[in-house]
């Protein structure tokens, strides 16, 4: 499954000039890509494995409700690279908290989390843990 997505970005590690990044696209540097909870991906040409380990708590405001504040969901990201200690980042959907973090010389940014909560669900705003997809961007840190 990952090999199908990787074939879409052969030929470069950066975004195509003039093209907007697409969620769900291949896991390449500097491009948005979607990643479901528990599904690993390897950043093309980097030997960097990334995985959305969990989402929660999720207190985001339902899309069909007006709220005093937007709420927040915490997304736990696991990272590993050959011969390096694994890392874990806690990223958030709210700009009031950290939406990005670093592992080794990589910066990981959370740009979206789907599905969004909806009011009127039988169990309130409960979303099944395995149904989340995080949209991420991974880039290299620039050394000083």
First to last CA, the chain: 38
Q: What is the pTM (predicted TM-score) of this model?
A: 0.79
Report pLDDT for 26. 82
Q: Rounded to an integer, what distance in angstroms lies between the CA atom of residue 77 and that of residue 130?
A: 14
Span 95-128, pLDDT tens digits: 999 999 999 999 999 999 999 988 755 455 578 8
Domain ranges of the chain: 2-140
pLDDT tens-place string over residues 64-80? 888 888 899 999 999 99
If you ran DSSP here, which 8-state letter would residue 67 be given?
Answer: -
Q: What does the alpha-carbon distance between residue 65 and residue 17 come to, in Å, rounded to a whole number?
A: 38
Helix (H) / strand (E) element for 4: namely helix 2-6
pLDDT digits (tens, 9 = 90+) for 7-41: 344 333 333 223 344 445 689 999 999 999 999 99
* CATH classification number, 2-140, choose in 2.60.40, 1.10.3470, 2.60.98, 3.40.1350: 2.60.98
pLDDT at 63: 85
């Amino acid at each position: 499954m990952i090999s199908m997505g990787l074939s879409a970005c052969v030929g470069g590690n950066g975004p195509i000039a003039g093209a907007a990044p697409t969620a769900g696209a291949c896991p390449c540097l500097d491009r948005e890509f979607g990643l479901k909870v528990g599904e690993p991906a390897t950043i093309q040409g980097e030997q960097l494995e990334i995985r959305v380990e969990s989402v929660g708590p999720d207190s985001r405001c339902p899309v069909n409700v007006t709220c005093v504040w937007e709420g927040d969901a915490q997304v736990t990201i696991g990272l590993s690279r050959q011969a390096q200690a694994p890392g874990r980042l806690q990223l958030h959907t709210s700009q009031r908290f950290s939406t990005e973090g670093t592992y080794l010389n990589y910066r990981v940014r959370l740009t979206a989390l789907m599905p969004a909560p909806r009011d009127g669900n039988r169990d309130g705003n409960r979303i099944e843990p395995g149904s989340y997809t995080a949209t991420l961007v991974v880039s290299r840190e620039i050394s000083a």
